């Protein structure tokens, strides 16, 4: 990822998975948390899917409480850049989200996506229950059976999620003319719209 805004970081409270669901027209929303490189990319991708109610960039998978972007970027916190996706399961399923996730980054690349290098850019799924764990592991097994390169996506239970600083939110929507957005994120979105026309649209 290219150099980021120097805006002061904010210490934000962690959010544990059981508190992340909310009622929507009598249904409970659900949450998925994925990391597949720069969270500017993953946020933009999932914001384009129908049934996605909210996509928030943040940090998870490590040990440091309330980490800043600079701390995560050092590679010493154990955290990955991730996106917390709140979705309406009556409009889009966890299986659909998994399919999009694995199709829009390289899950065979260890600690790297393109020019973004480091453990903070690793491929990771942080599951919020046994159903998500099972579905993720089964999907990875399927991909491994079809691929000549092994899937290196980390699968682990979600312990804490820390929201990223304000200036990371809606990054693509606010910075479409920047080089990273034009040359990295925009092509991913074009690929998304071409391959997953049935899933793209307003919630």
Q: Please list the active-site residues.
A: 38
| Residues paired with 156 in a beta bridge | 126
Residue 14 dihedral angles phi and psi, to the nearest 5° = -75, 160
Residue 189 dihedral angles phi and psi, to the nearest 5° = -70, -35
Kind of pairing, strands 30-36 and 27-28? unpaired
Closest C-alpha among 83, 99, 106, 100 to residue 35: 83
DSSP three-state, residue 94: helix
Closest C-alpha among 129, 47, 136, 120 to residue 84: 47
The alpha helices in the chain, defined as continuous H runs, are 39-47, 69-73, 94-103, 130-146, 171-174, 179-180, 186-195
């Amino acid at each position: 990822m290219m150099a980021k805004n120097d805006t002061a970081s904010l210490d934000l409270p962690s959010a544990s998975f059981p508190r992340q669901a909310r009622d929507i027209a009598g249904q409970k929303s659900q949450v998925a948390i994925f990391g597949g490189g720069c969270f500017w990319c993953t946020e933009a991708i999932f914001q384009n899917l129908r049934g996605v109610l909210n996509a928030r960039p943040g940090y998870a998978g490590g040990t440091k409480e309330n980490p800043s972007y600079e701390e995560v970027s050092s590679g010493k916190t154990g955290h990955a850049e991730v996106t917390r996706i709140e979705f309406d399961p009556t409009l889009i399923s966890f299986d659909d989200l998994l399919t999009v996730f694995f199709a829009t980054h390289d899950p065979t690349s260890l600690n790297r996506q393109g020019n973004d290098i480091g453990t903070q850019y690793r491929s990771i799924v942080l599951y919020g229950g046994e159903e998500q764990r099972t579905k993720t592991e089964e999907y990875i097994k399927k991909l491994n059976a079809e691929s000549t390169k092994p899937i290196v996506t980390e699968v682990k239970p979600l312990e804490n999620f820390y929201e990223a600083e304000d200036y990371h939110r809606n990054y693509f929507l606010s910075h479409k003319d920047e080089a990273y957005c034009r040359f990295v994120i925009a092509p991913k979105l074009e690929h998304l719209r071409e391959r997953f026309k049935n899933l793209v649209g307003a919630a």
